[in-house]
Amino acid sequence: MKNTKKPKQSHRHMKSKKPNTPVRTLLRCLLVCLIIAFVGFTILQALIFSAAHTEDAKVDCLIILGAGLYGETPSKSLVTRLEAALEYVKDADEIPIIVSGGQGPGETITEAEAMYRYLIRNGIDEKLIWKEEESTNTRENITYSLALLEQKGIDLGNITAAVVTNEFHLYRAKHIAGTLGFNAIGVAAKTPYLYLRVFYQCREAAALLKEFLL
C-alpha cells in the first residue's frame, strides 16, 4: 500500500508573510526619517566643529558679536567674547573694533554699549571702538557691521576682518559673512560651562539648518 501522507512542510515555509499594515508602514517611514535626521545632525555638528578655533592671521579690524546682558551687565558668554578680543589684539597694532548688538528683552542698554564700556575699562582707546546698536540676530550683526565699515570709508574688498564669538557660533557667523561676499576669519571665545556648550551646540545645529534653508 502506498503511503499517501503528505510530507511535512518546513517551519519556514509554513510562516505567512506579515501584511504591510498602515501602522507598520508608518513606523518604517518614521525610522527612515529618524535616520535622515541623525545623519543631518551629524553633518551639521561636523561643520560647527570645523570652525570652532581661532585663526592666526593679520587683520584690519575686529567684529565682536553681541550676547545677552543682565540689565547692563554682560553675561558670561559675552565676557568670554570680550576677553578673546582683548587677547587677540594685545600684541597687534591699533585696529578698529566693532561692537555689534542692539537692546533685547531684560537689557537696559544696548549690547554694543555694554561691550564699549567693558573694552574701555580694559585699556582700549575709545576712538578705536565703533558701535553698531541696531542688530537683533547674527545675520544683522554681520550685515550692519559691514555697512558700518563702508560708512567709515573702508573698502571691504581690501581688508580682512576677524569675527569674535563663541566657538559653536563661528561657522554660522563666517558662513553669513560669505553669503554677503565678505571672507572673514574667526576668533573663538570659550563657552563658560560644558553644559552650556552642549546645549548651544545642539541649538546651533537648528539655527544653521534654518540659515541654509532660508
User: How confident is the model over 35-50, as pLDDT tens digits?
Assistant: 998 998 899 999 999 8
Strand order in the sheet with 161-166: 129-132, 97-100, 61-65, 161-166, 185-189
Element (H, E) at 176: helix 170-179
- Please name the CATH architecture into which domain 61-213 falls: 3-Layer(aba) Sandwich (3.40)
Domain boundaries, the chain: 61-213
Write down the pLDDT at residue 10.
52
User: How confident is the model over 89-112, as pLDDT tens digits?
Assistant: 988 778 999 999 999 999 999 999
- Closest residue by Cα to residue 70 from 116, 34, 106, 98: 106
Q: What is the pTM of this model?
A: 0.84
